[in-house]
Amino acid sequence: MSIWLDENSRVVYQGLTGRAGRFHALRNRAYGTQVVAGTNPSKAGTSVEGIPVYATVGDAVEATGADVSCLFVPAPYVKGAVMEAVTGGVSLVVVITEGVPAKDEAWLVAKLERDHPEVRMIGPNCPGIISPQKANVGITAPDIARPGGPVGLVSRSGTLTYQALYELKQSDIGVTTCVGIGGDPFPGTSFKDCLAAFEADPDTRAVMMIGEIGGSAEEEAAVFIAEHMTKPVVAYIAGITAPPGKKMGHAGAIVSGGKGTAAAKIEALSAAGVRVGESPSEAGRLMVEVVSEPGG
């Protein structure tokens, strides 16, 4: 099995007619994803390589039964586009766009939590979600993900997600689902959400978690792991040597006021029984140990 996304998922692309939207929607379709629609209010009735374009997500859902939306719209329009997807009737919204203001993200997260708890948002500023051999929604290079499990992967960083998938593939370890939750301060889906879903997924036997400096999402994940996870977790945290007060690329990756350090995160995770690798390669080796253990 996989979490949140599989071969039955039907995906609409908001921003299909743009350059990035078109490229990735077609690549996702070539991977086997059911790409059923795109939206663009001024191009309704047209199509992109056979993918019908509708004015709104609501229209696309009605016509095609889409249940997932993937956003490639520019940052200023993300807030409105997510609400269009949510009210249009999809249950999963994957936001690839980077550069979304924190206020828009905070509002969206609070709005979904209060009024649309049945809808999951992944991102913004994330590579998306891939359930190898079943479906890929987003920009993850599909050939580096080995299908078949038993590892669930969740990551705050795009390229480190690829690096982690690669480390696993090199060791012949497959992945059930890989979720990139994004590097922004208010992600729609947290480590905790992913850990809970992997814990409940019968085909996932272990979880790899890639974190980085900033915020306290990793510490909260550690609390969740200690209290609720029976499956082993291997982690890697980037930014051990990052200087305080400097934003390391991602809007969320900053050590400020002594908070959000890699050391504190590693300590919290280790205390929760998580095996923490010092580098992506070491995390890969730890995962090899975990999956080869009896009952692992």
Partner 1 sequence: MDLLEYQGKRFLADYGVPVPKGGVAESAQEAVAWAEGIGYPVAVKAQVHIGGRGKAGGIVVAANPTEVRSAAERILGMDIRGQVVKCLLIEKGSEIEAEYYAGFTLDRSAGGYLGMLSAQGGVDIEAVAETAPEAISRILVNPVEGLTEATIASWVRFARIDDRATHPTIRILSDLYAAFVHGDADLIEINPLVLTSAGEVLALDAKVTLDSNSVFRHPNYQDFDATQPRDDREAAAHSRGLQYVGLDGTVGVIANGAGLAMSTVDVIAQAGGAAANFLDIGGAAEVETMASALEVINNDPRVKVIFINIFGGIVQGDVVARGILAALDRVKLRSPIVLRLDGTNAAKGRAMIGNRLSERLVMADSMPDGAMRAVEIAGRT
| Contact residues: partner 1, CB under 8 A | 75-76, 99-103, 106-107, 109-111, 113-114, 127, 139-141, 143-144, 155-163, 166, 183, 185-186, 210, 212-213, 215-217, 220, 236, 238-243, 246-253, 262, 278-281
Cα(234)–Cα(2) distance, rounded to whole angstroms?
19
Question: What gap in Å lies between CA 77 and CA 14, rounded to an integer?
Answer: 11
In the complex with partner 1, which residue's Cβ is closer, 55 or 281? 281
Using the minimum distance from each CB to partner 1, give the nearer residue, 75 or 288: 75
> Any residues with CB less than 8 A from the CB of 75 and at least 6 apart, and which?
97, 98, 99, 100, 101
Smallest gap, in angstroms, from Cβ of residue 13 to partner 1? Answer: 16
Q: Least distance (Å) from partner 1 to the CB of residue 77?
A: 10
Q: Closest CB to partner 1 among 66 and 266?
A: 266
Q: How far is the CB of 258 from partner 1 (least distance, A)?
A: 11
Looking up tokens 């499990």, which residue turns up? 149
Alpha carbon distance 36, 155 (integer Å): 27
- Is the CB of 208 or the CB of 251 nearer to partner 1? 251
Active-site residue flag, 250: yes
Q: Is the dihedral of CA 201, 204, 208, 210 positive or negative?
A: negative
The CB-of-156 to partner 1 minimum distance in angstroms stands at: 7
Which residues are registered as beta bridge partners of 90? none
What is the closest distance, in whole angstroms, from the C-beta atom of residue 62 to partner 1 in the complex? 27
| Residue 52 β-bridge partners | 47
Residue 38, C-beta contacts closer than 8 angstroms, at least 6 positions apart: 12, 13, 14, 15, 16, 17, 21, 25, 48, 51, 52, 53, 54, 60
Instruction: CB nearer to partner 1: give 114 or 117.
Output: 114
Q: Which residues are catalytic?
A: 250
